[in-house]
Structure 1
Amino acid sequence: MTVRLGFIFVPTQPPERLPALARTVEAAGFDDLWVWEDCFKESGVASAAIALAVTERIHVGIGLLPAPLRNVALTAMEAATIARTFPGRFTLGVGHGVQSWMGQAGARVASPLTLLREYTVALRALLAGERVTTEGRYVRLDDVMLDWPPTPAPPIMLGGGGPKSIALTGEIGDGTLLAAALTVDEIADAAQRSRAARPADATGEHPVVAALIVATGDDGAQRARRDLHLWRETDHDGSGAAGGSAEAIAEAVRRFVAAGATTVAFQPTTDEEDLDGLVEFLTTEVRPLLRDL
């Protein structure tokens, strides 16, 4: 298994900070840059397009777009436009969204799982250039076909939190996007559950992307652990964050990989003031400790 290392642009940062950071992350040699669409902060589609436009090599992923907020035909149009303009460098992530946020936006549905299934099936068909007519519980299309489908279509990774959602990411997704601030045990459970749900004829590796909250400096471990509680209300054993020394961060990456993650994306803390310095530390101090992965 080849492990990919990524960096997350957390939308607690202002959007105008993204272009320079994207160039810095690419120059540092990271495999991936991930952008989020958290309500009501920044657009995942716009952020991905900006990052791709100012870089040349790095892969950019959206982790993730909440399906209830976006008509599937619109998502297909936007994804196709990006994928054709930046071929081979874009990954689309879709999920059912945080339900409280969906409620605020007037987009909450009774069965998020049904919506995500219908949405993903229709989205995949549209991106494949098919003419789609469907009358589902939530997704309804009448003779819709993209004029400019991408070739190849971008991967559609799915995200979710509960056991049924995680199983769905394995059944119909091209990979699994895990929420921030998960424990190592939770990552292992999700990786196993998603892969167990894959179709019998599935081939190749099923990617699992996990976020590791990191910080440097004497108070790095404390800052990283404090950020865990910003992303989840339940108790946490601390394994979803690492800070302070390069060795501590590298060991946390190894634990994530052993649990089943194929991509570890470094997530800066919300109080991080020196993103460039963090990128440099991860590149020069941490990555050399992970050369055998």
Structure 2
Amino acid sequence: MSSIGAVFSPYQHPPEDFRAAVHAAEAAGLSQLWLWEDCFRESAYASAAAALAWTENLRVGIGIAPLPLRNVAVTAMEVATIERMFPGRLMPGFGHGVLEWMGQAGARVKSPLTLMREQLPALRALLEGEEVTFSGRYVNLDRVRLDWPPDAAPAVYAAGEGPKTLALAGAVADGAILTGGYSSAEVVDQIARVRAGAREAGRENEPKIVSYLTAAFGDGAESRVREALGERGIDDDRAAWGDPAEVAQVVRRLRDVGIDDVVLSPAAGEPDLGEFFRAAVEVERLIG
């Protein structure tokens, strides 16, 4: 069964809005709440830990945190600490980050692909409790082992849009996050690239695929989507709007082409985030 998640956006909401949103998500019965770490807004790990502490059942996805901002050993410590405190409820995801922002922070690298190729295998090994020694272009570890690795390492996701990054996500991560805004026909090609990368790397398990989908419910839903994505964004199931049944139709098309979990991202101007979460839960029930 596909799971349906929803987004808490750091663009539309300051940190002080987060607690009420998390409680609304848990009260609605939402399966997954996703957040991300765009510069220079809100910390992914602080937010994820807080959300998990405030709830009992909600799973929290980080989709994504930028790889260049942290040493991989620090990232492993962050993820392992949260996973040990709240087992099985964190879904950490990583990406290149916006290059301009990485430059502003003094963290821009010449080869984001090389950074991902080095960081994610090292991160996954550390989370598995392995001792890691590695000398690369960006990652250099000397006998590093976590004192408190998680009992079971969480799946590590990688996000991407370009063909090389999608293939690399399949090769070095447990799952891939698609950014949304694409038609189901375009998504077929993206999934194929992820799976091809996994096969070429000799991965035994097929990567899990998560995709964002801009959505709006209720009065003015279509106009909010048009404002968010423009005219092209509402064609060919690049977004969804209407009542939960209409949104579920688009989600089914994504599921049918190979998306495992769909994360509904509220269009700008969403008037009631709690109601959005309740509608997302109804979508999940309808596609169950």
TM-score band, normalised by shorter chain:
over 0.9
Counterpart of 1:111?
111
- The answer to whether the Cα contact below 8 Å between 2:4 and 2:280 also exists between their aligned partners in 1 is no
Residue by residue, what CA displacement relative to the aligned partner does 1:174-195 show, whole Å, maximum 9, x if unpaired? 0001113233233221111111
Shift of 1:34: 0.9
Counterpart of 2:228?
227
Give the alignment partner of residue 250 of structure 1, picking from 248, 251, 255. 248
Counterpart of 2:287?
290
Matches within 5 A, 1:195-214: 195-199=195-199, 202-214=203-215
Query: Superposition RMSD on alpha carbons, in Å?
Result: 1.9
Counterpart of 2:8?
9
Counterpart of 1:177?
177
2:245 and 2:147 map into 1 onto residues whose CA distance is 50
Q: Secondary structure at the match of 2:271?
A: coil
Counterpart of 1:280?
278
- The answer to whether the Cα contact below 8 Å between 1:180 and 1:211 also exists between their aligned partners in 2 is yes
C-alpha change, 1:26 and 1:274, in structure 2 (3 Å) is same
* 1:29 to 2:33 alignment: no
- The answer to whether the Cα contact below 8 Å between 2:224 and 2:268 also exists between their aligned partners in 1 is no
- The answer to whether the Cα contact below 8 Å between 2:179 and 2:212 also exists between their aligned partners in 1 is yes
2:249 and 2:125 map into 1 onto residues whose CA distance is 41
2:178 and 2:98 map into 1 onto residues whose CA distance is 13
1:17 and 1:188 map into 2 onto residues whose CA distance is 36
Shift of 1:280: 2.3
Amino acid corresponding to residue 262 of structure 2 in structure 1: V
1:111 and 1:235 map into 2 onto residues whose CA distance is 31
1:192 and 1:181 map into 2 onto residues whose CA distance is 17
1:54 and 1:106 map into 2 onto residues whose CA distance is 34
- The answer to whether the Cα contact below 8 Å between 1:225 and 1:242 also exists between their aligned partners in 2 is no
Q: Secondary structure at the match of 2:240?
A: strand
1:120 and 1:164 map into 2 onto residues whose CA distance is 15
Matches within 5 A, 1:81-230: 81-199=81-199, 202-228=203-229
Residue by residue, what CA displacement relative to the aligned partner does 1:54-75 show, whole Å, maximum 9, x if unpaired? 1111211111111111111110
Shift of 1:19: 1.9
- How many matched pairs? 285
Gaps of 5+ in 2: none
- The answer to whether the Cα contact below 8 Å between 1:161 and 1:178 also exists between their aligned partners in 2 is yes
Normalised TM-score (structure 1):
0.91
Shift of 1:204: 4.4
C-alpha change, 1:20 and 1:255, in structure 2 (3 Å) is same
2:153 and 2:286 map into 1 onto residues whose CA distance is 35
- The answer to whether the Cα contact below 8 Å between 1:95 and 1:160 also exists between their aligned partners in 2 is yes
- The answer to whether the Cα contact below 8 Å between 2:226 and 2:234 also exists between their aligned partners in 1 is no
Shift of 1:94: 1.1
Residue by residue, what CA displacement relative to the aligned partner does 1:152-205 show, whole Å, maximum 9, x if unpaired? 011111111110100011112100011132332332211111112214754444
Shift of 1:281: 2.9
1:287 and 1:261 map into 2 onto residues whose CA distance is 14
Shift of 1:26: 2.3
Amino acid corresponding to residue 9 of structure 1 in structure 2: F
Normalised TM-score (structure 2):
0.92
Gaps of 5+ in 1: none
Amino acid corresponding to residue 133 of structure 1 in structure 2: T
C-alpha change, 1:70 and 1:107, in structure 2 (3 Å) is same
Residue by residue, what CA displacement relative to the aligned partner does 1:74-126 show, whole Å, maximum 9, x if unpaired? 10111110000001111111111122221222211111000001001111121
- The answer to whether the Cα contact below 8 Å between 1:183 and 1:237 also exists between their aligned partners in 2 is no
Q: Secondary structure at the match of 2:198?
A: coil
